[in-house]
Amino acid sequence: MASLKELKNRIGSVKNTQKITKAMQMVAAAKLRKAQEAAEASRPYSERLGSIISNLATSMVGSAGGPELLVGNGQSDTVLLVIATADRGLCGGFNTNIVRKAREEIVALEREGKTVKLYLIGKKGYDQLKRLYADQIVKFISLKEERKLHAGIAQNIGEEITGMFEAGDFDICKLVFSEFVNVMQQDAVAKTLIPAMEGMTDLPEGGETTQDLDGAIYTYEPDEAGILRVLLPRNINTQIFSALLENQAGEMGSKMSAMDNATRNAGEMIDKLTMTFNRTRQAQITSELIEIISGAEAL
Amino acid sequence: MADKLKFSLVSPERELYSGDVDQVDMPGTEGDLGILPNHSPLMAALSTGLITVYKDGVEDQYFVQGGFADVTPAGLTILAERSVHMDELDHDDLRSRIERAQKQVASLEGDAHVALSRDIDAMLRILGGKAA
């Protein structure tokens, strides 16, 4: 049995750990609120952009030879997976879930005989994936230095991806990230970015997305193709941006519940250790008493 | 005129303006546009410049850099790539962006060169107008 001193030390160290996890939980809660607000604030933009593109896309369907970003370049041999994870750990299964989803995608695609390239955002995903797919990683960026997510980050990433597509480095681009459902639940999803047409299949047919124009015809300035040419790269930037925001909210939510669990576990451990501590002390006192009494009787 | 134009200005980060206004002027890539209530459906690409919002005789200005204007019978939505209210415009940031663009412009040719030069001109105009 551990000595009293040892037990005391352990209780002290667990208490310290509990303090840390509790502080981390509170920080995560505050950050989660901010991240959620940011994600919500960006939603009007991405929704409007999505509906404009689907409007344009449906009107372009008849005419052959739409932009390659929209309809694809007719091939599907090389797939670029953009995998967004967090830069920090200690957030439960958050990063692992995204990586698992990414690996499922990679395995499925490779079974179909396709070449897979990886574009990694976030350190944790890189750490986990570099062991298996080091030679397939074309780019890795960490957002650790960025204090706050802003549209410029996503813009840089988006422009790079668009540039790679135009250079013919890949045919299809998929984005893997974690969709924020609520604090307890984040779903890792894979979404097709290029061709944009494919990613749109989940839009409600003719629902809210189509505008009632009272029979009027849209005027385009410049022409439709010109607008689409500018709009599509921007759509990629926006999708990446909202993925990053969702990820951030998910990371914080996940961290919050992970730290909440850790705090609770630490509490339980303290209770148990205190119990052992008291028992040990009591046993010591009892045995001392017995010694004294039996010593007195012997006299 | 009782008619008002339902106007919303959104950037990727947040919604900057939402409400009923009388008129909105904006910088289209093909020239400046003024939108009044009951405008016919229009989709226009925006360049760098100022958006002026007229409401009850009061003017409000926003700096915008790239984006789209979408006019439907329901109203006008501007999706700005980057946009801030003129009062919040960060001059140092703008200046550094001009410098960056000026360095970049030399290496470009054709349409891209023209577009970026126009961008720089517009930014310089805004910077000069505000400083004066």
Domain ranges of chain A: 49-200+220-257
Parallel/antiparallel/unpaired status of strands B42-55 and A219-221? parallel
Cβ-defined contact of A44 to B8 (cutoff 8 Å) = yes
Query: Which of B70, B71, B82, B114 is most worth mutating to test chain A (most A CB atoms within 10 A of its CB)?
Result: B70
Cβ-Cβ contacts under 8 Å for B31 (sequence gap 6 or more): none
A211 interfacial to chain B (CB closer than 8 Å)? yes
Chain B residues within 8 A of A154 when measuring between CB atoms? 12
| Residue A222 preceded by cis peptide, ω within 30 | yes
Confidence of residue B96 (pLDDT cuts 50, 70, 90): confident
Per-residue pLDDT of A71-99, as tens digits, reads 777 788 899 999 999 998 888 889 999 99
Per the annotation, the verdict on A91 as an active-site residue is yes
Cβ-Cβ contacts under 8 Å for A220 (sequence gap 6 or more): A226, A227, B42, B43, B44
Cβ-defined contact of A41 to B45 (cutoff 8 Å) = no
- Residues A133/A118, Cβ–Cβ less than 8 Å: yes
* Chain-centre distance for alpha carbon A181: 12
pLDDT value of position A293: 95
pLDDT value of position A97: 92
A247 interfacial to chain B (CB closer than 8 Å)? no
Residue A158, burial from CB neighbour count under 10 angstroms (0-12, 13-18, 19+):
buried
Among A10, A17, A14, A70, CA closest to A198: A70
| Token pair in block for residue A98 | 């995204």
Average pLDDT of every residue of chain B: 84
Per-residue pLDDT of B47-64, as tens digits, reads 888 899 999 989 999 999
| Token pair in block for residue A293 | 């009494």
Alpha-carbon gap, residue B30 to A246, rounded angstroms: 36
Query: Which of B65, B72, B76, B96 is most worth mutating to test chain A (most A CB atoms within 10 A of its CB)?
Result: B72
pLDDT value of position A263: 96
B54 interfacial to chain A (CB closer than 8 Å)? no
Find residue B61's DSSP bridge partners: B52
pLDDT value of position A215: 55
- Residues A186/A253, Cβ–Cβ less than 8 Å: yes
Per-residue pLDDT of A37-67, as tens digits, reads 888 888 888 888 887 777 777 766 555 556 7
Angle at CA A239, nearest 5°, toward B15 and A148? 60
Residue of chain A nearest B11, judged by CA positions: A45
C-alpha to C-alpha distances, A273 to A7, A268, A279, nearest whole angstrom: 7, 9, 10
pLDDT value of position A280: 94
Nearest to B43 among A155, A227, A234 (CB): A227
- Nearest chain B CA: its distance from A163 CA (Å): 15
A210 interfacial to chain B (CB closer than 8 Å)? no
Cβ-defined contact of A221 to B45 (cutoff 8 Å) = yes
Residue of chain B nearest A229, judged by CA positions: B45
Alpha-carbon gap, residue A120 to A138, rounded angstroms: 8
Residue of chain A nearest B32, judged by CA positions: A221
Nearest to A45 among B12, B28, B44 (CB): B12
Query: Which of B81, B93, B111 is most worth mutating to test chain A (most A CB atoms within 10 A of its CB)?
Result: B81
| Token pair in block for residue A221 | 């300035």
ipTM of the complex: 0.71
- pLDDT cut 90: percent of chain B above it: 17
- Residues A273/A14, Cβ–Cβ less than 8 Å: yes
| Token pair in block for residue A103 | 């690996």
Cβ-defined contact of A48 to B70 (cutoff 8 Å) = yes
CATH topology for A49-200+220-257? Pyruvate Kinase; Chain: A, domain 1 (3.40.1380)
Among A241, A234, A233, A237, CA closest to A143: A241
- Nearest chain B CA: its distance from A249 CA (Å): 15
Low-confidence ranges of chain A (pLDDT < 70): 1-2, 59-66, 198-216
Q: Hey, what amino acid is at A257?
A: S
Nearest to A49 among B29, B42, B79 (CB): B79
B122 interfacial to chain A (CB closer than 8 Å)? no
* Coil/strand/helix, residue A292: helix
Cβ-defined contact of B15 to A221 (cutoff 8 Å) = no
- Nearest chain B CA: its distance from A32 CA (Å): 16
Q: Which DSSP letter does residue B41 get?
A: P
